[in-house]
Amino acid sequence: MIDILSLQVIFTVLLFSSVTCVVYTIVGWRKIWNNVKLYSNRAYWVNYNVIEACAWYAKGMVILPALLYGKEIWQLHFLTLFTSSLLIWASRKKGLPTLVIFNTIWIGISSIVIVRNIL
Q: By CB neighbour count within 10 A (0-12 exposed, 13-18 middle, 19+ buried), where does 117 fall?
A: exposed
Q: What is the DSSP letter of 1?
A: -
Residue 15 shares a structural domain with residue 50? no
> Do both 22 and 3 map to the same domain?
yes
Mean pLDDT by 10 residues, the chain (119 residues): 84 95 97 93 89 92 92 94 90 82 94 95
Range of the domain at 107: 45-119
Whether 60 and 87 share a structural domain: yes
Same domain flag for 18 and 51: no
Domains in the chain, number: 2
**36 with 64, same domain?**
no
Residue 59 · residue 106 · CB < 8 Å:
yes
CA distance 10 to 3: 11
Q: What is the pLDDT of residue 13?
A: 94
Question: What pLDDT score was predicted for residue 47?
Answer: 82
